[in-house]
Amino acid sequence: LTESGLIAAQDSRGFRPLSLGKLGEGWVVASETCALDIVGAEFVRDLQPGELLTISADGLKATACLAPNPRAICSFEYIYFARPDSEINGVSVHAARKAFGRRIFEESPVEADIVVGVPDSGIASAIGYAEASGLPYELGMMKNRYVGRTFIQPSQELRQQGVRMKLSPVRSAITGKRLVLVDDSIVRGTTSGRIVRMLKDAGAKEIHLRITSPPITHSCLYGIDTARRKELIAAEYEVSAIQEKIGADSLYFLSAEGMVEATGRNDSSPNRGHCLACFNGDYPTPTS
């Protein structure tokens, strides 16, 4: 934002979503379409990779400021970061997360009594799992909405304290039950381990953890503060060892192929336009 107008730019691979909206006689740019809805703006279109918008008293001007490359939008926008009431490149985030849940049931069914989602981003996937499996969905956990994201806290002690303050079990829903517990990801394992222990202490009989993303084995170089690679639990341990460490009765990660297909993006770029670098180390830009 300058004295003469507004400038918006999309990087050459479209790592982050950026949308243009119309509000009366003016224009709005937002990183999520839900922001356009909130202010009453009409969605016009998504910016294209390498595109530059200048908005001034003379109107709207779109130019190609960078040569476009194959799109590589961050998969975590669909998995975790974006609000469920947003759309990214025409794909509903809520619908994508439900599809993750259906797909992970297809890949790894298990005998259980109820399905529980870890608030907030695990809820839609848990509903999808419940619909596909026929198991009832239960509100097995409550979230304190005044506590921030725990995985980006700078120390292990603060992350553990954050989990205790952020989540609490609904004992009447889970006591004596075998749970399919659905969450979006495991980064360091801190949050997952604390949640499993908390639910078992509250009376859960079994916990079968289903993660709607592949194992995170590499650090993000494109703006997400995941962790250094040596801090990523999946970079150091096999799935069986992670399961033992966090105390789950079973553990399964959604396959990269399943995640990409479930999102439903219609894109000719590699991986249907997803960046999968944190899962496979295949960074879409030079790293040295």
CB 134 within 8 A of CB 110: no
Q: Calculate mean pLDDT across residues 1-29.
A: 94
Residues 79-88 have pLDDT tens digits of 999 999 999 9
Q: Is 102 in the same domain as 235?
A: yes
The reply to whether 82 and 180 lie within a common domain is: yes
Q: What is the pLDDT of residues 188-234, one digit of tens each?
A: 998 899 999 999 999 999 999 999 999 999 999 998 777 689 899 99
Q: How many domains does the chain have?
A: 2
DSSP annotation of 238 reads -
204: amino acid identity, one letter: A
For the ranges 23-27, 67-71, 139-143, 208-212, the maximum mean pLDDT occurs at 208-212
* Average pLDDT for 31-38: 98
- Average of per-residue pLDDT across 48-74: 93
Most confident of 4-13, 103-112, 139-148, 268-277: 103-112
pLDDT at position 204 is: 99
Residues 64 and 102 in one domain: no
pLDDT the model gives residue 228: 84
Indicate the pLDDT class of residue 166, thresholds 50, 70 and 90. confident
Average pLDDT over every residue of 56-72: 92
Written as six digits, the tokens of 99 are 């599809």
- For position 224, what pLDDT does the model report? 79
Same domain for 147 and 34: no
Taking 90 as the threshold, does the pLDDT of residue 156 lie above it? no
The residue with greater pLDDT, 228 or 235, is 235
- Give yes or no for residue 159 having a pLDDT over 60: no
User: Does some domain include residue 101?
Assistant: yes
Q: Which residues contact 1 (CB under 8 A, 6 or more apart)?
A: 7
Interval 53-76 mean pLDDT: 93
- What's 135-191 look like in SS3? CCECCCEEECCCCCCCCCCCCHHHHHHHHHHHEEECHHHHCCCEEEEEECCCCCCHH
Percent of the chain with pLDDT over 90: 82
Determine the average pLDDT of the residues in 4-23. 95
Q: Kindly state whether residues 141 and 259 are assigned to the same domain.
A: yes
111 and 39 within one domain: no
Would residue 286 count as lying in a domain? no
Q: What value does the mean pLDDT of the chain take? A: 93
Mean pLDDT over 121-147 rounds to: 94
pLDDT > 70 fraction of the chain, expressed in percent and rounded:
93
Q: 3-state DSSP call for residue 247?
A: coil
Beta strands (DSSP E) in the chain are: 5-9, 19-23, 26-30, 42-46, 51-56, 59-64, 73-74, 87-88, 91-92, 114-117, 141-143, 167-169, 178-183, 206-211, 250-253, 274-275
Together in a domain, 32 and 122: no
8 Å CB contact between 24 and 3: no
Identify whether residues 60 and 157 lie together within a single domain.
Answer: no
pLDDT value at 106 more than 90: yes
Say yes or no: 56 and 89 in one domain. Answer: no
Same domain? 98 vs 216: yes
pLDDT of residue 150: 52
The reply to whether 42 and 120 lie within a common domain is no
Q: Which domain holds residue 205?
A: 74-280
pLDDT, position 184: 97
The reply to whether 58 and 157 lie within a common domain is: no
CATH of the domain at 159: 3.40.50.2020
